[in-house]
Amino acid sequence: MNKWLDKDEQFVWHPFTQMFNAPQPLEIIKAEGSVLYDAQGKSYLDCNSSWWVNVHGHGNKHLREAINRQFEKVDHVIFAGATHHRAIELAERLVGLLPQSLEKVFFSDDGSAAVEVAMKMAFQYWFNRNITKKRIVALDGAYHGDTFGAMAVGQRGYFNEPFEHFFFDVDYLPFPMEENQAEIIKRADELFKTNEIAALIVEPLVQGSAGMRMYEAAFLDELMRLARKFDVIVIFDEVMTAWGRTGKYFAMDHCVEKPDIVCLSKGLTGGVLPLGLTVASREVYNAFLSPDKTKALLHGHSFTGNPLACAAACASLDLFELPETWERIESISKQHSLFREHIEGETLVKEIRQLGTILAIEINTGEGNTYFSEIRDVAYTFFLENGLLLRPLGNVLFLNPPYSTSDAQLQMMYDVLSEFICSLKKE
């Protein structure tokens, strides 16, 4: 018996896992570039960047050195009443990368917290100005995190049913498709017109957890223009879509209109340390300035602005300044689209979607996309056996690999995916 896995079973409670009958987890003892190694010496390609975070690959030397250097200077310090150089550097560089209107950076620890902060900013913005706007609009199928506020604006269902009675009211717009856009705009117009809507929150262009569902920038622009017209704060949850994932630095770079608040996390530190950021416009920020202390944003976490995480994030920005990084992003995007053409028309493929380095293949199961659909487990096991760590979302198989992934490694991902789709046909 393996003592580590025995102890794991004895002491550890894993996320998103039914511990009653969960298969043994992978025991990962080494991570290098786009490859993970288990204790038996088997290797796996990290097809989903270790839960969508690891953008530059594992063990990146530049990130490691930046974290080590920072540890020798300041490992951690309170971020209220004190500051440090890496947080300042990160905020300045990020504001330089974001659209001009986004100017003030608030630090937290993960994507869910970044979303909570964004919503608190939006609601308190109106509160501080003595204007009654207490409702929020989100999209069907949204995922914004697992804390209460983030759950409340997300898709309701079996994931959060036990907590639903605590959730605040949210108005949902249908997920935008070609045929329903006019209807959505009409519905949004009716909602915004009530003058009760504080904010609109969306995952721009790609809904991650819903199965990498994609929609058009032009539609989002139209929705944002409508929000502008009725003074509705627009929040972009770019926790997943930032850092080159969509082919551009941020998903908002595909849009003409820009949000008032953006949430960032996941690949922010290159995916090696937890950090969340909520960046707001000066207009939002200004509503908190007052001689009255209670008008401040009274929110903060113990690890707010952690210097090691900030150092990693600055180092990750360095890597994004290298042309090589963008060449890899472009190359992965291009190869994804070639593979897409290759398997388009396969009878078992219901739809194949791609934006930048994200490729999603929806398998026809006849029952729609549900997280627990059986094909998920069959596929997951098949991929592990064939050297891929690829966690499907229900019947959606997807790749969002680290940018360190070589052409040969990408080809292996495509080959195993093709093989899996072929194996389904034989059944």
Which residues are at the interface with ligand PLP (CB under 6 A)? Answer: 110-112, 115, 143-145, 203, 208, 237, 239-240, 265-266
Nearer of residues 268 and 363 to ligand PLP, judged by Cβ:
268
Which residue, among 184, 178, 276, has the nearest Cα to 224 in the 3D structure?
184
**Backbone angles phi and psi of 260, in degrees to 5:** -90, -25
- Find the DSSP H helices in 37-193: 49-52, 61-73, 85-97, 111-128, 148-153, 181-193
Nearer of residues 35 and 393 to ligand PLP, judged by Cβ:
393
Nearer of residues 137 and 421 to ligand PLP, judged by Cβ:
137
> Do 198 and 205 contact (CB within 8 A), yes or no?
no
Nearer of residues 211 and 409 to ligand PLP, judged by Cβ:
211
CA distance linking residue 47 with residue 44, whole number of Å: 9
CB of 116 to ligand PLP, least distance (A): 9
Shortest-Cβ-distance residue relative to ligand PLP? 111
Q: 339: which residues sit within 8 A by CB, 6+ positions away?
A: 359, 414, 417
CB of 52 to ligand PLP, least distance (A): 6
> Do 86 and 76 contact (CB within 8 A), yes or no?
no
CA distance linking residue 147 with residue 159, whole number of Å: 12
CB of 208 to ligand PLP, least distance (A): 4
CA distance linking residue 146 with residue 151, whole number of Å: 5
> Do 380 and 390 contact (CB within 8 A), yes or no?
yes
> Do 203 and 245 contact (CB within 8 A), yes or no?
no
| Rg, C-alpha atoms of the chain | 22
Which residue, among 142, 90, 148, 144, has the nearest Cα to 275 in the 3D structure?
90
CB of 89 to ligand PLP, least distance (A): 22
Nearer of residues 4 and 168 to ligand PLP, judged by Cβ:
168
CA distance linking residue 318 with residue 48, whole number of Å: 23
Nearer of residues 265 and 373 to ligand PLP, judged by Cβ:
265
CA distance linking residue 319 with residue 323, whole number of Å: 9
Nearer of residues 254 and 339 to ligand PLP, judged by Cβ:
254
CB of 239 to ligand PLP, least distance (A): 4
> Do 153 and 162 contact (CB within 8 A), yes or no?
no
Nearer of residues 133 and 144 to ligand PLP, judged by Cβ:
144
Nearer of residues 139 and 287 to ligand PLP, judged by Cβ:
139
Which SS3 state, helix, strand or coil, does residue 412 take? helix
CB of 253 to ligand PLP, least distance (A): 17
CB of 70 to ligand PLP, least distance (A): 21
CB of 362 to ligand PLP, least distance (A): 18
Strand 28-32 to strand 35-38: parallel, antiparallel, or no bridges (unpaired)? antiparallel
CB of 206 to ligand PLP, least distance (A): 9
